[in-house]
Structure 1
Amino acid sequence: MSKSKINIALFFGGRSAEHEVSLLSARSIYNAFSKEKYEISPVAISKKGFFHSLEESKKILLGDKNKVPELDRENILDLKVLKVLEEKIDLVFPVLHGPYGEDGKIQGFLDTLNIKYVGCDLLSSAVGMDKAVMKEIFSYHNIPQSKFKVLKKEEFKNQNTLEIYNKFVEDLKVPFFIKPANMGSSIGINIVKELSSFKAALSEAFKYDNKIIIESNVKGREIESAVIGKADNIEVSAAGEIISTHDFYDYQAKYEDQSTELIIPAEISNKSKEIIKELSIRAFKAIGAEGISRLDFFVNENENMILVNEINTMPGFTKFSMYPLLFKEVGISYMELLDRLVNIALTEDK
């Protein structure tokens, strides 16, 4: 570890279904960090939540594996890794998307060790991850969004599926979307057009969470913005549009389908751009976010409609991800983004 450099532990992998996306983000971040300014120590976390040694973690990150290998219990080195972190690390960059990384759990763990980290704190991470809570908070702050309902697994067990379906059809109309409350990268999301797809969508969503969101279908363009900063100094990127050949911007469209188009800047009116910036800041502040977030919107200029879909507190961070590309459009490079995020984290009291 270098005393003249800032020592950063780069967490990646983790227990989430977004494990593979985390590796992609972490590899891009590792390669982009200035090695003159920073000493980067990769920390690989397996899908069962086990920490690899620092030496093995670096081999995994610099290799070509698409997931972190599991460990035999006798080879677990968690305590040795934690000792190094507590004694020698200035900062953790938890590039962990989804549950057990983006939901406040790793943030609380680092708070307990009194280690600073990039991104939102425990509470804002948890709120941003739980779409049911997030939407309730947005409602409280009068942030425009689509109509939604929340269904818990226990409630579902005690009700008739056809009756539930008919109720949602009455309230939300068809088609509507079903998604896990705590998941990202469009994993577990399906569009419902009839009773049979309703049953299949429920089954899929409940694989990932015991609480799901049922959301009305909105006819609008999918626009995104990126945010960096904290309460007294927030900067919003250019707006970008996603054009997918799929029914919606699902996991395949995001990471596998080469036909998906990212239009940056989005071809929308200046008025719409200003509203998106304003709503980005309002949503960012509403959940108490700090450091990094990406906002997703539905925009229909013909109907003067701009709705916030959700906020992501640890968005994808490859060089081809929307978050860095949106800031590149306004003159902030990938490397400068990393520098800013580190500076915010080092000066922020979590």
Structure 2
Amino acid sequence: MENIAVIYGGISNERDVSLRSGKGVIKALQNKGYQVIPMEYQCHKTLLKELLDKKPDFVYIALHGRYGEDGRIQSLLELLDIPYVGSGVLASALAMNKSLAKKHFEFAGIRVAKEKVYRKRDFSEDRLVEIVNEIESTFNYPVVIKPNEEGSTIGLTIANNRNSLLEGLQLAVTCASDILLEEYIKGVEITVAVLGSDQYIEALPVIEIVPKNDYYDYESKYAPGGSEHIIPARIDESATDTAKKWAVAAHKALGCETYSRVDFIIPETGDPVILEVNTLPGMTETSLFPDAARSVGLPYEDMLEKIVQIAQKKYNK
């Protein structure tokens, strides 16, 4: 392999995080001896021109959110016959659509939260009261409101009453065309990094997330000191084993490749509840996937090289 392009930045609401992930990946791969072509993605046409002009042998996608994790960039690379790190078009699109992904998880025997989905067009003025009444008859407060196809808790609200429910719905419809309502499950938030190929997929140690805010919001995810990552998570052995087993099962259920990160809530009683699968986990200085890798003796640069090597095998490089 002669060179690797790192596509980072993007045009989603998670651009700033992607810039940080991308810069970390570029530096790490350069330190490992790779010839790296940085490609800061700012618009579709310029990215396409750059890919056609520079003809990279391989691509590391360091994007987050729409036009990065949702299968569109993956589709472009496949049309151009350029191999890349990570999950393919279908798995990426499925993981980004939280409601559809949950159907696959449930079919695989993984516990999911009760949900209801509304389309943005449903929120006409004459239907709003009807929808709110329907939500209140389906869920107890608090209730979770979030865009169905966003990441990093963008547009998320945990509503404790009708007023905050209305505010949360108004926020969510500014972010997406589909709105996901879910039951709120109190518990310990954990995440499980998954790494490997079809031959061998492993779950890395479970990380417990302790946010400084009331829940694991955007600031808690990305601001230095925004959350504490505890490895191994302070949960019992049974919950640990189930979370690791289900993380691999969720990865496989969506058809993910190379690596992913699977988020769960450990409730006060019962099995873990899956939240989502991240097909392009963050690679910033505060990110969870690098923390999990370090806990098994894989420093940041070695981890990225291993991810690239696993992905290369898919293309017989």
Normalised to the residue count of structure 1, the TM-score between the two structures is: 0.86
Question: Cα deviations across residues 280-301 of structure 1 (Å, max 9, x unaligned)?
Answer: 111000000001210101013x
SS of the aligned residue for 2:74 comes to: helix
Kept in 1: contact 2:87–2:257 (CA 8 A): yes
Unaligned 5+ runs, structure 2: none
Structure 1 residue 51 corresponds to structure 2 residue 17: no
Paired position in structure 1 for 2:16: 20
1:38 and 2:14 correspond? no
Kindly state the Cα deviation for residue 323 of structure 1 after the two structures are TM-superposed: 0.6
1:203-234 deviations in Å (ceiling 9; x for gaps): 21111210011011001100111011133210
Residue from 314, 337, 346 that aligns with 2:303: 337
Once residues 264 and 50 of structure 1 are traced to their aligned partners in structure 2, the CA distance between those partners, rounded to angstroms, is 43
CA deviation string 1:33-65 (max 9, x = no partner): 24453101100111x44537xxxxxxxxxxxxx
Q: Percent identity?
A: 35
Alpha-carbon spacing, 1:147–1:282, altered in 2? closer, same or farther (3 Å): same
Mapped partners of 1:237, 1:44: distance in 2: 30
1:115-154 equivalences in 2 (<5 Å): 115-154=82-121
CA distance in 2, matches of 1:329, 1:172: 39
Q: Deviations over 1:217-274 (max 9, x none)?
A: 0011001110111332101110011112323111011122625211122112222211
Aligned partners of 2:263 and 2:276 also within 8 Å: yes
The Cα RMSD (Å) is 1.8
Q: Is the 8 A contact 1:162 1:195 kept in 2?
A: no
- Within a 5 Å distance, the mapping from 1:43-122 to structure 2 comes to 43-46=39-42, 48-49=43-44, 51=46, 78-79=48-49, 81-86=50-55, 89-122=56-89
Contact 2:144 2:182 in 1 (8 A): yes
Alignment pair present for 1:326 and 2:292: yes
For this pair of structures, how many residues does the alignment match? Answer: 316
Q: Is the 8 A contact 1:175 1:216 kept in 2?
A: yes
Q: Please identify runs of 4+ aligned residues in structure 1 that moved more than 4 A.
A: none
1:344 Cα deviation from its structure 2 partner: 2.0
Which amino acid is 1:312 matched to? N
Distance 1:332 1:218, change over 3 A: same
Alignment map for 1:242-321 (pairs within 5 Å): 242-256=209-223, 258-300=225-267, 302-321=268-287
Cα distance between partner residues in 1 of 2:224 and 2:308: 32
Q: CA deviation at 1:103?
A: 0.3
3-state SS in 2 of match to 1:51: helix
Which residue, out of 152, 162, 166, partners 1:199? 166
CA spacing shift, 1:139–1:117, aligned 2, 3 Å: same
TM-score, scaled relative to structure 2: 0.94
CA distance in 1, matches of 2:84, 2:37: 14
TM superposition shift of 1:185: 0.8
Partners of 1:82 and 1:335 in 2: how far apart? 25
> Contact 1:230–1:289 at 8 Å: present in 2 too?
no
How far is 1:346 from its partner?
1.6
In the aligned structure 1, how far is the partner of 2:126 from the partner of 2:315? 46
Q: CA offset at residue 82 of structure 1?
A: 2.5
Aligned equivalents of 1:160 and 1:193: distance in 2? 21
Answer whether contact 1:6 1:37 (CA < 8 A) is retained.
Answer: no
What is the rounded CA distance, in whole Å, between the counterparts of 2:17 and 2:180 in structure 1?
23
Q: 155-164 vs 230-239, which deviates more?
A: 155-164
Q: Aligned residue for 2:136? A: 169
Q: Which amino acid aligns with 1:340?
A: K
